[in-house]
Structure 1
Amino acid sequence: MGCDGGTIPKRDELVRVKQKPEQKDKDAEREFRWLHCALTQQRLEEPIAMCSMGRLYSKLSVIERLLEKEKMPEGSAHIRSLKDIKTLQLTPNPAFTDEDKTEGLLDTRHAPYICKLIGLEMSGKFRFVALWTCGCVMSERALKQIKGSMASSCPLCQVPYSVEDVIVLNGNDEDLELMKVKSEMREAKRKSAKKDKKNSKKTETEASVKAEAKDEPASTSKGVEKPTTTSSSSTSHKLKIVANPKRLGAVNAMQDPELKRLKTDFSVAKDPKATDVYKSLFTSHKTDKEQERAHWITYNPFYN
C-alpha cells in the first residue's frame, strides 16, 4: 500500500495547503484593453472614442447601447449621452499588417496606431494621452517635451486646451481618480460659461429694448402724414375732421358765439346784444373816455 520503506513522502503530499490564486498575465490584460472595446469586449472598430475616464470604445457600440436604453456596465455608468464620449483622432501605424491581428507573441506584433510626434506605438507599453477639446492622441512623453513652448494649444491641430482637458488613456487607479477630478472641473467650467452666456444675452436684450424705447417717440413724430395736395381744400378739410373726432369737437366749439368774444377784434361796445349798463363797465365806453379822473381799475394819469 506504499510507505513500505522505499518511498519518502513530501509535505505537500501529506498536508493540504491553500492553493495560490491564479495570477493574471499583465501583458495579455494590457493588450486586451488597448485592442478591445470596454463596453462590448469586442475588437475596436473605427471610429474609436474615449470616455472621461480614458477607456476606449467603439463609437457605434456606444450609440447602439444608448439607443436601446440598456443599462451600462459599472465601469461605463457615467456615459449617459454622446456628450460623455469624445471621438479620437488616431494616427495609423504603417508597420501594422493583417498578420499582427492574429494570435502570436506580444513582443513581435505591432500596434495599429502610433504617436504622430515621436513614432511610439500605442500598444500599452508607453503612456498615451488624448485631449478632450480636439480628440488628438499622442504619447505622454511627446506632450511633456513640447509642453514648454506650446502649453496652451494642441501640437497637432493648434486647438487651445487646459490642464483638465488632458486625459490619460487606460490609466491606473491613481489616474482614474485624477480623471474624475478633471471631469468635475470641466463640468463646472461648462456650467459657468453657459451661465455667463445667458447673462450676456439677457443684457443685450435689455439694451435693445431700451434703445427701441428711445427711438419710439422719434419714429412716431416722423410718422405723421402731411397733406400732399392743395386742391379741393374743403373736401380734404372734411376728411381730416372725420378722421380725427377730437379735432371735430374743437371746430364745433370754435363756432360757439360766446367763444367769438375771446377774439382780439371783438369789442363789447359794438356788441348789439349787450346792455348799456354792461358796456359802462369797460374802458371802451364813452363815459370812461370823457372822464377827467383816472379809471378805478387801471391807473391812467392822463398825461398831456
Structure 2
Amino acid sequence: MGCDGGTIPKRHELVKGPKKVEKVDKNAELAAKWKYCALSQEKLRRPIVSCELGRLYNKDAVIEYLLDKSADRPNAEAVTHIRGTKDIKELNLTDNPVWEGERRNTKGDRYEDIHCGMFICPVVGLEMNGRHRFCYLHSCGCVFSDRALKEVKTEICHKCGDPFQDSDVVVLNGTKEDVEKLREKMEQRRVKAKAKKSKKSKAAESVSTSSEPKDDTQVMVAQNGEGQSGNESSQSVTDAAGPSGSSKGSMASSSSLSASKRSIQEMEEKSEAFKSLFTTHSSAKRTKDQISNWVTHTPYHF
C-alpha cells in the first residue's frame, strides 16, 4: 500500500516507537560554561569573577543581583550562596594571543575553531576552553591550569608572586564531586569567619566592661582625695583661726586683695625705667595744654 506518488513508506514512518533520549551536545555544554555567564547567560567579558564553587560570572550581573534580589532571573539558583561582594573573587586572566575576537569569521570564508578560548594558562599555554582542568587561587585571583600547578609545585603564585596554600585552590567549572568539596570548604571558611567575629566582639565587650569600673574607681578616688584635701584645708584654717576664725579670715582676704591691687608706682623695689612702661607713670599723663577738645580712639596718642 503506497502513498500519493507511488512511494512506499517504511515501518518506522508509520509505527511510532519509543522516543530517543536527546543527547546533550558536549561542545554546546562546554561553550555555555566557559564562554557565557552562569547568571545572565551573556558572553563573558571583563571584569570576570568567580564564586567559591568555581562558577564564572560577569561582575556587572552579580552586582545587579546583589542590589535587587527580588527580581525574577532564570538562573537565580546558581547564585543563592553569594551573600555579598566578599563571596566573589575577580579573576586575573591571561589573554590568548590567537583569539581574534567574536567577528573573526564575518564573511564565512574561513574555518572557525569552536574550541578556541579567550584565555590561556600563563605557565603551560593551554587554552581555557573546557577541555583542560583550570583553577584559580582564592588569595590573589590568578588563573592557572591544573597541569601547571602539578608540574611546577610551589607555594608562591607563578604570576603575581603572592604566597598561597592548598586550601586556596578553587577548581573552575568542576564536576559534581569537586563542587561538593568546594561547598564543604566554603562552609568551613564561613564558620571560621563567624568564630573570629564572635571572638572580636567578646574581646571588645570585655575591654569596655573592664574600662568602665576602672573609670568609676578613678573618679571615686579623685573625689575622695579632693574631699580629704578640702577637709584638711578647712580644718587647718579653722585651727589657725580659733574662735575668731571668721574675722581673721576676712582680714587675711582683705589684706591679700589690697596687696594684689597695690599700684606699681608705689613699689619701691621697682626702677623708674620699669615704672615708665605703664600709663600710670607721671610721664604718660598729659597737661591741660596737651588735652584736646575732641576725643580720639587712642586717647594716649598725642
Per the normalisation by structure 2, the TM-score is 0.63
AA aligned to 1:255 is G
The gaps in structure 2 that reach 5 residues or longer are 245-302
Equivalent positions of 1:221-232 (< 5 A) are none
Contact 2:50/2:89 (8 A) holds in 1: yes
AA aligned to 1:25 is D
AA aligned to 2:176 is D
Q: Map Cα deviations across residues 241-294 of structure 1 (whole Å, 9 max, x no partner).
A: xx956523443246259xxxxxxxxxxxxxxxxxxxxxxxxxxxxxxxxxxxxx
Aligned-residue offset at 1:78: 1.5
Residue equivalent to 2:120 = 114
Contact 2:2/2:8 (8 A) holds in 1: no
Give SS of 1:247's match.
Answer: helix
Q: Distance in 1 between matches of 2:20 and 2:150?
A: 41
Q: Sequence identity, in percent?
A: 41
Q: Distance in 2 between matches of 1:50 and 1:214?
A: 55
Aligned-residue offset at 1:8: 7.8
- After TM superposition, the structure 1 stretch with the greater mean CA deviation from structure 2, 83-92 or 157-166, is 157-166
- After TM superposition, the structure 1 stretch with the greater mean CA deviation from structure 2, 184-193 or 52-61, is 184-193
Equivalent positions of 1:210-229 (< 5 A) are none
Structure 1 142/203 Cα, relative in aligned 2: closer, same or farther at 3 Å?
farther
Equivalent positions of 1:170-185 (< 5 A) are 170-185=173-188
Q: Does residue 1:43 correspond to 2:43, yes or no?
A: yes
Q: Does residue 1:248 correspond to 2:234, yes or no?
A: yes
Aligned residues: 232
Residue equivalent to 2:277 = none
Contact 1:164/1:186 (8 A) holds in 2: no
Q: Distance in 1 between matches of 2:192 and 2:111?
A: 46
Structure 1 106/176 Cα, relative in aligned 2: closer, same or farther at 3 Å?
farther
Q: Does residue 1:138 correspond to 2:144, yes or no?
A: yes
The gaps in structure 1 that reach 5 residues or longer are 225-242, 258-304
Q: Map Cα deviations across residues 121-166 of structure 1 (whole Å, 9 max, x no partner).
A: 111110100112211111011112223x32xx43322333333322
Match for residue 130 of structure 2 among 124, 131, 147: 124
Give SS of 2:44's match.
Answer: coil
Aligned-residue offset at 1:65: 2.3
Aligned-residue offset at 1:15: 3.1
Q: Distance in 2 between matches of 1:58 and 1:2?
A: 58
Q: Distance in 2 between matches of 1:105 and 1:26?
A: 20
Q: Map Cα deviations across residues 21-74 of structure 1 (whole Å, 9 max, x no partner).
A: 321211121022111111111111210001121111110111122223325611
Residue equivalent to 1:90 = 93
Per the normalisation by structure 1, the TM-score is 0.63
Structure 1 196/118 Cα, relative in aligned 2: closer, same or farther at 3 Å?
farther
AA aligned to 2:242 is Q
- After TM superposition, the structure 1 stretch with the greater mean CA deviation from structure 2, 108-117 or 130-139, is 108-117
Q: C-alpha root-mean-square deviation of aligned residues, in Å?
A: 3.8
Larger radius of gyration: 1
